Amino acid sequence: MAPAARVARALWPGGCALAWRLSGRPQLLLPTQNRAGFAGSAGGPGPVAAALKGSPRLLGAAALALGGALGLYHTARWHLRAQDLHAEHSAAQLSLSSHLQLTLYQYKTCPFCSKVRAFLDFHALPYQVVEVNPVRRAEIKFSSYRKVPILVAQVGENSQQLNDSSVIISALKTYLVSGQPLEEIITYYPAMKAVNDQGKEVTEFGNKYWLMLDEKEAQQVYSGKEARTEEMKWRQWADDWLVHLISPNVYRTPTEALASFDYIVREGKFGAVEGAVAKYMGAAAMYLISKRLKSRHHLQDNVREDLYEAANKWVTAVGKDRPFMGGQRPNLADLAVYGVLRVMEGLDAFDDLMQHTRIQPWYLRVERAITEASPAH
């Protein structure tokens, strides 16, 4: 069992204090149909039933027609109500987001940072970006947590630091849906020390794929328990598997490694000399490191095949009957997978991925949804 899995397994018994927020199972409540046309107020035959008595065929046809009409009526009614609820929910989110001042500390080419940007843009949350120098990291000297992304959220007079991409996303989504104080929400995702496969101490976060919502709030986000479980499963898949396919693919050959570091230096925060050194020495180092990553994660000789298989596995999970895993709108799993893959844009690995898998239509739909939702910032 991987260290992250062992940590999660060990955490759940201690996380039972939060179980009340997670135990509600959303249920679809169907409207009660009015049967006044078929029965009198005391349960006797009503006027329609009396007129049709003795004519079974006519009675059956009338019942079928009326049942169909009722079904159409209630379908339309619930569709309009769902639109109203979505509008109310969006308005509430907009009101809460207007109180947030967000600053994202990032490396632009980091897949975890890209995940957070995809979430913020899709939810129309304005934010400032601070590009961190990956060598000196002076921009995050205020933080004892030395990885990116780091998000600093200012709510009124209170400032909260959120660490880890999945925690940032879960905490902010919980805040937007529930309106709970952000400083309280952060306590639901405790940091813990663990030791990874290489014997290195790392920081893991509990509950990071959960949205801390009560039953009513969960119904605003999910169509049912299965949808919630599915989203969590694939968010974790993006972190535990998909993200580890990026480096072996973008540094697959010396030429690809050089092209990747040219992009990293161009988009990152480097001085002139620092950038030149990083481009050539970094490319050489990462080409060699990518071979070790390939062995560590038991990838195929042609690592493109692992990337293709992962993309097609994702597309199969989304299915043909819905544009996104979230249904008509991207959910957190859609945004996570999109964010991870987006960092390869402009590189050979991305072009090959679009050409040799079935993922491009889904990818373009998510891209369009984010573009339409995101504010200028």
Sign of CA dihedral 9, 15, 20, 22: negative
Lowest mean pLDDT among 57-66, 150-159, 270-279, 359-368: 57-66
Rounded mean pLDDT, 62-87: 44
Higher pLDDT, 318 or 203: 318
In a domain, 75, yes or no: no
Whether the Cβ atoms of residue 201 and residue 14 lie closer than 8 Å to each other: no
If you ran DSSP here, which 8-state letter would residue 140 be given? G
CB-CB neighbours of 377 under 10 Å:
12
Whether the Cβ atoms of residue 268 and residue 134 lie closer than 8 Å to each other: yes
pLDDT at 67 (0 to 100): 45
- The CATH number of residue 151's host domain is 1.20.1050.10
The model carries a pTM of: 0.74
In a domain, 157, yes or no: yes
- Per residue in 103-157, pLDDT tens? 999 999 999 999 999 999 999 999 999 999 988 899 999 999 999 999 999 988 8
Higher pLDDT, 264 or 30: 264
Is omega for the bond preceding 254 within 30 degrees of 0, making it cis? no
In a domain, 327, yes or no: yes
The helix/strand/coil state of 39 is: strand
In a domain, 325, yes or no: yes
CB-CB neighbours of 308 under 10 Å:
20
What pLDDT band is residue 98 in, cutting at 50, 70 and 90? low
Q: What's the rounded Cα separation, in Å, for the pair 115 and 118?
A: 5
From residue 246, give the alpha-carbon distance in Å to each of 11, 226, 339, 347.
Answer: 29, 29, 12, 11
Q: What's the rounded Cα separation, in Å, for the pair 243 and 271?
A: 28
Rounded mean pLDDT, 291-317: 96
What pLDDT band is residue 214 in, cutting at 50, 70 and 90? very high
Pick from 343, 318, 310, 167: nearest CA to 237: 310
Share of the chain above pLDDT 90, in %: 60
Its domain, for residue 122, covers: 85-373
pLDDT at 362 (0 to 100): 98
Whether the Cβ atoms of residue 5 and residue 241 lie closer than 8 Å to each other: no
Q: Looking at the 3D structure of the chain, how many domains does it have?
A: 1
**What positions carry a catalytic annotation?**
107, 110, 112-113
In a domain, 63, yes or no: no
Q: What's the rounded Cα separation, in Å, for the pair 265 and 121?
A: 24
In this structure, what is the dihedral angle of CA atoms 350, 356, 362, 365, given to the nearest 10 degrees?
60
Beta strand residue intervals within the chain, DSSP E? 100-106, 127-131, 150-155, 158-163, 191-195, 201-205
In a domain, 222, yes or no: yes
In a domain, 220, yes or no: yes
- Per residue in 254-270, pLDDT tens? 999 999 999 888 888 88
In a domain, 43, yes or no: no
